[in-house]
Amino acid sequence: MRLRLPLFLAFCVVFATGADAPSRPLVLPELFVHLKHAEDDLERGQAGKARAHAELVLLARPIRVHVDTGDPRLRELAEQAMRHWEAHVGALRFDLVDAREAHDVHIRFQPGLSRNGSNLAGHVKWRRVVRPAGGLFEWSIEAHITLRTRRPDGRPMLDDAIVQAAMHELGHVLGLADCEGYEHVMSPLLLDRPCTTPSHSELTALRDLRGRAKDVITRIELLTAYNRQSAAD
């Protein structure tokens, strides 16, 4: 029987008020697990497996996103969230695809969203996998995002509040963890004061993470070039 990895689940809480001192956003621990695999596999000479783990951390091919709504405004807001992340994180691409095409990320909307009595702006379930495939290794990410469209009082959410919620859940797809402060995309959503610009600390956390994964890929490419040269000599 084939075991399926569990889907991880994260919630973006809405309705927070006040302003605590912002805490530094962190990277999800599972990303460091994939980085460690990448670095250890490379040390052991398993370059194919190392590359798959590093590419999973980087999301090194265009990530196909299906925005599951007939509402052009909601589709536009989800796309804004994708383009904001692309603009701030180098070498990252989200492609919009329609329902008939295979996709990695599915985004849907509903008027309200809550869990255990807390109002949520959105939530995401995801799964990152590296698996053997035909003598090589392949990686995949699968994410299901749900976003709320109405405030708890029934009024429509501000455009930027929906953009922050979409960026927040995509931030988990990129590898960022929740943040307890109120100055970050990965913070709880302030309904009247949404944040759609990633903070310096969020971008630094992502750049550090992605820099280590890129380093693994650079070392693999140098090793491959060296082996090719040695075979030719």
Nearer to Zn ion by C-beta: 103 or 172?
Answer: 172
Nearer to Zn ion, 14 or 65 (CB): 14
Q: How far is the CB of 121 from Zn ion (least distance, A)?
A: 9
Among 192, 122, 203, CA closest to 160: 192
Beta-bridge mates of residue 142: 127
What are phi and psi for residue 7, nearest 5 degrees?
A: -85, 130
52/166 with CB nearer Zn ion: 166
Q: Closest separation between CB of residue 13 and Zn ion, Å?
A: 8
Phi, psi of 183 (to 5 degrees): -110, 15
Cβ pair 87, 167 in contact under 8 A: no
Does 10 help bind Zn ion (rule: CB under 5 A)? yes
Contact 162/108 with Cβ under 8 angstroms?
no
Candidates 12, 78, 82, 217; binder of Zn ion (CB under 5 A) is 12
Side-chain half-sphere of 39: how many Cα atoms within 13 Å? 11
Buried b (16+ CB within 10 A) or exposed e, 79-97: bbbbebbeebbeebebeeb
What is the signed CA dihedral for 103, 184, 212, 52, rounded to 10 degrees?
-10
Secondary structure percentages of the chain, helix, strand, coil, to 5: 40, 25, 35
Specify the stretch interacting with Zn ion by CB under 5 A; choose among 25-33, 133-141, 174-182, 216-224.
Answer: 174-182
Q: Do 25 and 202 contact (CB within 8 A), yes or no?
A: yes
Specify the residue, 56 or 145, whose C-beta has the smaller distance to Zn ion. 145
Residue type, 223: L
**Binding segment (CB under 5 A) for Zn ion, from list 6-14, 86-94, 139-147, 153-161:** 6-14
CB of 187 to Zn ion, least distance (A): 9
Least Cβ distance, residue 162 to Zn ion (angstroms):
15
- Please identify which residue in 41, 55, 68, 178 interacts with Zn ion, judged by CB under 5 A: 178
- Smallest gap from Cβ 111 to Zn ion, in A, equals 20
Our finding on whether 38 is near Zn ion (CB under 5 A) is no
Scanning 77-85, 149-157, 175-183, 220-228 for contacts with Zn ion by CB under 5 A, the matching segment is 175-183
Give the shortest CB-156-to-Zn ion separation in angstroms. Answer: 22
Q: State which residue, 57 or 166, has the beta carbon closest to Zn ion.
A: 166
CB of 168 to Zn ion, least distance (A): 5
Binding residues for Zn ion, per CB under 5 A?
Answer: 10, 12, 178
